[in-house]
Amino acid sequence: MRQREAVHCNLIGDQWVGGAPTPNVNPSDWADEIGLYAHADASQLGAAVAAARAAFETWSVSSPQTRFDVLDRAGTLILERRDTLGQLLAREEGKILAEATAEVVRAGMVLKFFAGEAVRMAGDRMDSVRQGVDVEVTREPVGVIAIITPWNFPIAIPAWKLGPALAFGNTVVFKPAELTPGCAHALVSILREAGLPTGVVNLVMGRGSVLGDALLDSPDIDGVSFTGSVPTGRRIAARCAQATKRVQCEMGGKNPMVVLDDADMNVAIAACINGAFFSTGQRCTASSRLIVTKGVHERFIKAMSERVASLKVGSALDPATEIGPVVDQKQFESNLDYLDLAHNEGAKIVGGQKVKQATEGWFLSPALLLDTTPSMRVNREEIFGPIASVIRVADYEEAVAVANDTEFGLSAGICTTSLRHARDFKRRARAGMVMVNLPTAGVDYHAPFGGRRASSFGPREQGSYAREFYTIVKTCYTG
Ligand code: NAP
> How far, in Å, is the centroid of ligand 1 from the Cα of 431?
20
> How far, in Å, is the centroid of ligand 1 from the Cα of 232?
7
Whether pLDDT at 4 is above 50: no
Which is it for strands 348-351 and 367-372: parallel, antiparallel or unpaired? antiparallel
Average pLDDT score over residue span 389-417: 98
Average pLDDT score over residue span 447-471: 97
Percent of residues, the chain, with pLDDT higher than 90: 98
146 lines ligand 1 (CB under 6 A): no
C-alpha count within 13 angstroms, C-beta hemisphere, residue 47: 15
Determine which one of 117, 250, 322, 461 is catalytic: 250
Q: Name the band, by pLDDT with cuts 50, 70 and 90, for residue 387.
A: very high
Position 1 scores a pLDDT of: 42
Ligand 1 atom with least separation from CA of 235:
18
> pLDDT tens digit string along 362-380?
999 999 999 999 999 999 9
Give me the residues paired with residue 135 across strands: 126, 477
Atom 15 of ligand 1: nearest residue by CA position: 208
More confident call, 121 vs 251: 251
Q: Integer distance in angstroms from the first to the last C-alpha of the chain?
A: 50
> pLDDT tens digit string along 63-76?
999 999 999 999 99
Return the ∠ at Cα 286 (arms to 178 and 105), rounded to 5°: 65
> How far, in Å, is the centroid of ligand 1 from the Cα of 227?
6
Distance CA 136, CA 122 (A): 11
Whether pLDDT at 2 is above 50: no
> pLDDT tens digit string along 267-276?
999 999 999 9
Question: In 10 A of CB 259, how many CB atoms?
Answer: 27
Atom 35 of ligand 1: nearest residue by CA position: 228
* 34, 85 Cβ separation under 8 angstroms: no
Position 6 scores a pLDDT of: 83
Host H or E run for residue 119: helix 97-120
Provide the sign of the torsion angle of the four alpha carbons 445, 73, 93, 16, taken in this order: negative
Distance CA 91, CA 85 (A): 10
Whether pLDDT at 116 is above 80: yes
* 287, 441 Cβ separation under 8 angstroms: yes
Same fold for the pair 10-251+449-478 and 255-436: no
Whether pLDDT at 234 is above 80: yes
pTM of the model: 0.97
Average pLDDT score over residue span 446-459: 97
H-only helix segments in 278-380: 294-310, 329-344
- Structural domain spans, the chain: 10-251+449-478, 255-436
Active site annotation includes 249: no
Distance CA 159, CA 248 (A): 16
> pLDDT tens digit string along 416-433?
999 999 999 999 999 999
240 lines ligand 1 (CB under 6 A): no
Instruction: Give the contacts of 149 (CB within 8 A, at least 6 positions apart).
Output: 157, 158, 161, 174, 175, 176, 177, 184, 226, 227, 228
Average pLDDT score over residue span 440-464: 96
Percent of residues, the chain, with pLDDT higher than 70: 99
199, with CB counted inside 10 A (0-12, 13-18, 19+), is buried
Averaged pLDDT of the chain = 97
Torsion (CA) 38, 42, 44, 47 in degrees, nearest 10: 150
* 410, 438 Cβ separation under 8 angstroms: no
> How far, in Å, is the centroid of ligand 1 from the Cα of 231?
9
- Is CATH 3.40.605.10 correct for 10-251+449-478? yes
Distance CA 229, CA 251 (A): 5
Whether pLDDT at 102 is above 90: yes
252 lines ligand 1 (CB under 6 A): yes
Active site annotation includes 476: no
* 414, 421 Cβ separation under 8 angstroms: yes
- Is CATH 3.40.309.10 correct for 255-436? yes
Position 121 scores a pLDDT of: 85
| Three-state DSSP class for residue 264 | coil
384 lines ligand 1 (CB under 6 A): yes
